[in-house]
Amino acid sequence: MNAGNDHIKLTYREALKQAIREALSKDDRVFLMGEDVGRYGGSFAVTKGLLQEFGPERIMDVPLSESGFVGAGIGAALSGLRPVVEVMTVNFSLLAMDQIVNNAATLLYMSGGQLNVPVVIRMSTGLGRQLAAQHSHSWEPMYAHIPGLIVLSAGTHGDARGMLLTALQSPDPVIIFEYTAMMNLEGTLPGHPETVNITKAGIIKEGKDISVITYGAGVYKSLDAANELSGSGIDAEVIDLRVLRPMDMETVFNSVKKTHRALLVEDAWGSVNIGAEVSARIMENVFYDLDAPVQRLCGAEVPMPYPKHMEDASVPQKEDIVAKLKKMLQHG
């Protein structure tokens, strides 16, 4: 849909599709493989129509064996191709952890720098559409823990459209997390795709009173909360980490030095998560710039419930972020 001024309005799902189409069009070495990506059009309809456009050698349906097809993607990358491997949900990626952790992440080191593994693995993550405990968790922290991987979080429409092409230029394995709950969310983007820097965090909204540091599904919720509070005299800065490994802490530290307060927001469980790591790094590096303790809003530490109201209650919502920010700044 045309939004005027050379901008277009599109859903997060369509932004992801545009990214895949552009990558396939620009480089004959790129192909997509995954469960139901071809004839079915993808479990979230992201790849609908791409099989007819590019054919079965570029859009490849695979057997239900995550270890098998992720391993095949790693082999293809070692052979000079640029595979994009789709894992239907992050929960299913556990079946391929041996391939990702013991092969993709380690081969460069174990070969003495001789073997690069330029594979991109896309995973849908987080809650959405009542998919319950086998399909809905936020396990970005697990992958951000692993040396040898580049771990990205597409928390905006711009990143959904732009991250893949940049990731495919990396000589190292890249994990891109995409967010189930955002698939139908509309956003406005420039008509022509922009280059995305996958080494830097993003400043989504500038502010002076407090830094809200988040990623993924937390980005738009935090932005909505910050915009709502701007009418109450609270000027919050919103930082999208975007790169979960290796993190761009310079942007985070500069923000905290400016606002002197930090709230970390994410859907993942609170124990041993991204927020815990960022909090520790803030304390280690810019402690004396803080006017108050760093605080966190995280997902409830339970398997993801099926009922909609419980699913919504299990992760921070805009209202929770608003209430927390007001409390931290002692407003009302």
Catalytic residues: 66, 135
Decide: 178 and 160 in contact? Cβ < 8 Å.
yes
287 vs 283: CA distance, rounded Å:
5
299 vs 36: CA distance, rounded Å:
30
Amino acid identity at 284? E
Decide: 301 and 276 in contact? Cβ < 8 Å.
no
Amino acid identity at 301? E
With CA atoms as reference, report the closest residue to 295 among 256, 251, 246, 243.
256
198 vs 201: CA distance, rounded Å:
8
244 vs 126: CA distance, rounded Å:
15
With CA atoms as reference, report the closest residue to 275 among 298, 300, 251.
298
**What string of DSSP letters covers 255-311?**
HHHHHS-EEEEEEEESTT-HHHHHHHHHHHHHGGG-SS--EEEEE-SSPPPSSHHHH
Phi, psi of 99 (to 5 degrees): -65, -45
User: Euclidean distance between the first and final Cα of the chain, in Å?
Assistant: 41
Decide: 140 and 216 in contact? Cβ < 8 Å.
yes
Decide: 100 and 70 in contact? Cβ < 8 Å.
yes
**What string of DSSP letters covers 44-96?**
TSTTTTHHHHH-TTTEEE--S-HHHHHHHHHHHHHTT-EEEEEESSGGGGGGG
